[in-house]
Amino acid sequence: MRLSLADIVPFEKDADTALGRPMACELPFLHGFGVDQNEPTKFDLREPLQLLRRYRELGIELVNVTLGSPYYNPHLQRPAAYPPSDGYQPPADPLQFVKVHLDAVRAAKAAVPSLKLVGTGYTYLQEWLPNVAQHEVRCGHVDFVGLGRMVLSYPELPRDVCAGQPMQRKRICRTFSECTTGPRNGMISGCFPLDPFYKAMPEAKQVRALRDAAK
């Protein structure tokens, strides 16, 4: 299973600052999952943790834990330095949202220790990703570390790390979000900035122009 533990209120771009801000909504906010109904940018994980316990009772053994929506809360689900073309600037340092992912999966593991959990949100850590991943697994906070955007530009990263090889710095995902901007605009998804195959495509210029226009 893949489960968003907390689907908070949707965010939108502030016209003055270009930062993400929560949309206005009536309180209590009844449309979220795993959120505080009176403060819908904050989590209330009681129901999601109850669902994880039910998963285990049903014989489900492996769950990929994530947060938010890639469409309504990209700053939360995919912490990044650069937003997709239809997104907004992160409302705080993306490292804060990486920490939110780590804390959420820790809470899930503590609640259902027999469930095997895959953590997400690591790509923004870049060079420090292996260090944090090793710590979280070694300390029993998570069972597996899932990599998404990172393996588009650098699929050999897990092999290099496990073999004790230096990381190839020029292939590390820098969270430009062009892999998201492409499909959001009817084009193929790929790492246009770093992967030579995609960089040579005509779509690369279009995606770059969209990214620059969104700044």
Residue-wise pLDDT tens digits, 164-207: 999 999 999 999 999 999 999 999 999 999 999 999 999 999 99
CB 132 within 8 A of CB 108: no
Looking at residue 91, its amino acid is P
Residue 213: its pLDDT value, please?
79
Other residues' Cβ atoms within 10 Å of the Cβ of residue 118: 18
pTM given for the model: 0.93
Check pLDDT > 70 for residue 33.
yes
CB 79 within 8 A of CB 94: yes
The domain ranges of the chain are 2-166, 176-215
CB 78 within 8 A of CB 70: yes
What residue spans of the chain are helical by DSSP H?
46-57, 74-77, 94-111, 129-138, 150-153, 157-162, 178-184, 196-199, 203-213
Q: Tens of pLDDT along 49-70?
A: 999 999 999 999 999 999 999 9
Residue 215: its pLDDT value, please?
66
Check pLDDT > 90 for residue 211.
no
Burial of 39 (0-12, 13-18, 19+ CB in 10 A): middle
